[in-house]
């Protein structure tokens, strides 16, 4: 019965997404919703940027293992990313009226930089989207009591997300996400209330977690520990800034003010609401410590779904799994669209001359389908945890894309030579250290970030500044 109700909910989500797709009449509609989205919808989408499988299943499991100390990258770094993007980057990028973030690198530098950075952005999404697909497989596996395998669940979940994303693009992502965020907030709060009652009250759960040191989050005064802490924070906080999924939400806003404040408030809302799954996970430790101990040894990501199935009344099971699927699908749809439109616009389109708008739209939809197949295959093949896949996703953009974006916006001497040196030195240093397994005393992506900045400064001081092309050059279409 529970599985049947979940499938009905999935069918409704598909229906909403396909209804929203009626708004798509051009590539601009598909990629930016023609910049028509109001504040509540953009706020919901920004909140959903990070509030996915990683938050509900990933960081809640990490909290049980490591406490707040294991959550520096997410939610702290992830929230900081959104606040910084809103306050510093939203205004100048929104004013350029671009289709993708990759377009910025063509305008500010040249085609070579656009291609290199766009590929970095696309590759960084492999683990991020795969994490959502893995979570969908896990949910169907739990709901069916192993009748649906993890792999089969991944295929079903991706099929649902793909069905409305491929037709409706940003319009479908926006409308379905807005509905799904309502389900998420109401659902998780209701489940949390029941869990708190069973665990002896909110104060009891918090006091017990504090007594076990779960709220310790600052590093020790040891230099290596502080560097590791900083690496975890900066990888997510800075590495996630040059990303298409964050940019496309900001860029779909109806006006500049919405672009800025929906992003800032979305980041703040994410930070506080991310505490709800943490509370649920620790409540499980008080409600059924034997179950938690067994699952921690097997797969800690199963703690919350198993708690709900074994200890919650049926109606709350429906609410929880509806909310959980909403969480995952809202994130999966946006992060599936982001790399696909980047690859279509910034890698393929310049190679295919004289495309009509309709041809470009059809090509983008085809790329969405191909990327869905690729990440599903990767999710099936890898055995990495959800948290690990997400944590590693943004190392490539931190080392390769962050410096060209920031210096291009805020340093007048930034030029093509500096951008290419930043890419080569940043990515080269990071990859070399990763391949050699050298991750102490500083993690490879931070050294890559430093090398990238050095490359930009050397290039900027050794050659004339590159002046940005007029914004209209990014949109011959």
| Rounded mean pLDDT, 255-269 | 95
Higher per-residue pLDDT: 52 or 109: 109
Higher per-residue pLDDT: 464 or 466: 464
**Each residue of 364-382: pLDDT tens digit?**
999 999 999 999 998 888 7
Higher per-residue pLDDT: 142 or 347: 347
- Report yes or no: 184 and 325 within 8 Å, Cβ to Cβ: no
Least confident of 99-113, 205-219, 378-392: 378-392
Higher per-residue pLDDT: 383 or 282: 282
pLDDT of residue 390: 64
- The tokens of 138 are what? 């896990």
Integer Cα distance of 290 and 286 in angstroms: 9
H/E segment holding residue 73: none
Give Cα 358 to chain centroid, integer Å.
29
Integer Cα distance of 401 and 456 in angstroms: 11
Higher per-residue pLDDT: 191 or 225: 191
pLDDT higher than 70, residue 274:
yes
| Rounded mean pLDDT, 86-106 | 95
Q: How confident is the model at residue 471 (pLDDT cuts 50, 70, 90)?
A: low
pLDDT of residue 395: 86
Q: How confident is the model at residue 327 (pLDDT cuts 50, 70, 90)?
A: confident
| Rounded mean pLDDT, 185-189 | 89
**Each residue of 148-169: pLDDT tens digit?**
898 999 999 899 999 989 999 9
pLDDT of residue 386: 61
**Each residue of 278-321: pLDDT tens digit?**
999 899 989 999 998 888 888 777 888 889 989 999 999 888 88
Query: What's the whole-number average pLDDT of the chain?
Result: 89
Torsion of CA 322, 323, 328, 330, to 10 degrees: 100
pLDDT of residue 334: 86
Sequence-ordered alpha helix ranges (H) in 345-415: 357-381, 386-393, 395-400, 402-410
pLDDT of residue 475: 43
Q: How confident is the model at residue 31 (pLDDT cuts 50, 70, 90)?
A: very high
| Rounded mean pLDDT, 386-405 | 80
pLDDT higher than 50, residue 473:
no
Integer Cα distance of 192 and 200 in angstroms: 12
- Report yes or no: 294 and 109 within 8 Å, Cβ to Cβ: no
Least confident of 33-42, 86-95, 128-137, 156-165: 128-137
Highest mean pLDDT: which of 66-70, 144-148, 413-417? Answer: 413-417
DSSP tally for the chain: helices H, then strands E: 24, 0
The closest alpha carbon to 51, from 319, 371, 269, 318, belongs to: 269
Q: What is the widest separation between alpha-carbon atoms in the chain?
A: 68
pLDDT of residue 476: 40
Higher per-residue pLDDT: 477 or 87: 87
Q: How confident is the model at residue 264 (pLDDT cuts 50, 70, 90)?
A: very high
Higher per-residue pLDDT: 391 or 96: 96
């Amino acid at each position: 019965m529970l599985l049947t109700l979940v499938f009905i909910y999935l069918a409704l989500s598909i229906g909403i997404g396909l209804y929203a797709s009626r708004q798509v009449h051009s590539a601009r509609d598909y990629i930016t919703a023609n910049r028509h989205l109001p504040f509540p919808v953009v706020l919901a989408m920004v909140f959903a940027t990070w509030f996915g499988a990683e938050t509900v299943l990933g960081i809640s499991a990490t909290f049980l293992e490591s406490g707040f100390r294991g959550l520096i990258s997410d939610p702290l770094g992830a929230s900081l990313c959104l606040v910084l993007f809103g306050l510093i980057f939203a205004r100048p990028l929104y004013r350029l009226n671009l289709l993708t973030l990759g377009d910025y690198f063509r305008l500010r530098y040249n085609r070579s930089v656009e291609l290199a950075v766009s590929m970095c952005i696309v590759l960084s999404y492999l683990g991020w989207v795969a994490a959502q697909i893995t979570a969908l497989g896990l949910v169907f596996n739990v709901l069916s009591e192993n009748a649906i395998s993890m792999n089969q669940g991944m295929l079903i979940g991706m099929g649902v997300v793909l069905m409305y994303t491929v037709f409706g693009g940003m319009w479908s992502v926006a409308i379905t996400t807005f509905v799904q965020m309502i389900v998420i907030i109401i659902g998780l709060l209701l489940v949390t209330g029941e869990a708190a009652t069973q665990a002896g009250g909110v104060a009891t759960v918090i006091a017990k977690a504090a007594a076990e040191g779960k709220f310790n989050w600052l590093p020790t005064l040891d230099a290596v520990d502080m560097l590791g802490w900083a690496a975890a924070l900066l990888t997510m906080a800075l590495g996630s800034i040059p990303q298409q999924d964050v940019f496309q939400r900001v860029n779909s806003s109806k006006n500049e003010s919405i672009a800025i404040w929906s992003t800032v408030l979305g980041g703040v809302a994410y930070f506080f609401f991310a505490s709800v799954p943490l509370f649920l996970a620790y409540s499980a430790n008080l409600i059924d410590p034997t179950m938690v101990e067994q699952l921690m040894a097997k797969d800690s990501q199963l703690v919350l779904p198993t708690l709900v199935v074994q200890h919650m009344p049926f109606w709350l099971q429906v609410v929880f799994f509806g909310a959980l699927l909403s969480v995952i699908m809202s994130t999966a749809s946006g992060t599936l669209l982001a790399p696909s439109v980047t690859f279509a616009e910034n890698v393929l389109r310049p190679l295919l001359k004289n495309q009509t708008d309709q041809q470009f739209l059809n090509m983008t939809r085809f790329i969405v389908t191909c990327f869905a197949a690729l990440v599903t295959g990767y999710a099936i093949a890898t055995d990495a945890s959800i948290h690990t896949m997400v944590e590693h996703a943004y190392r490539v953009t931190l080392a390769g894309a962050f410096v060209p974006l920031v210096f291009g916006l805020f340093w007048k001497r930034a030029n093509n030579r500096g951008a290419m040196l930043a890419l080569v030195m940043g990515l080269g240093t990071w990859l070399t250290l990763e391949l050699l397994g050298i991750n102490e005393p500083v993690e490879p992506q931070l050294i890559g970030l430093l090398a990238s900045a050095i490359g930009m400064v050397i290039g900027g001081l050794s050659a004339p500044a590159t002046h940005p092309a007029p914004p209209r050059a990014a949109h011959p279409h």
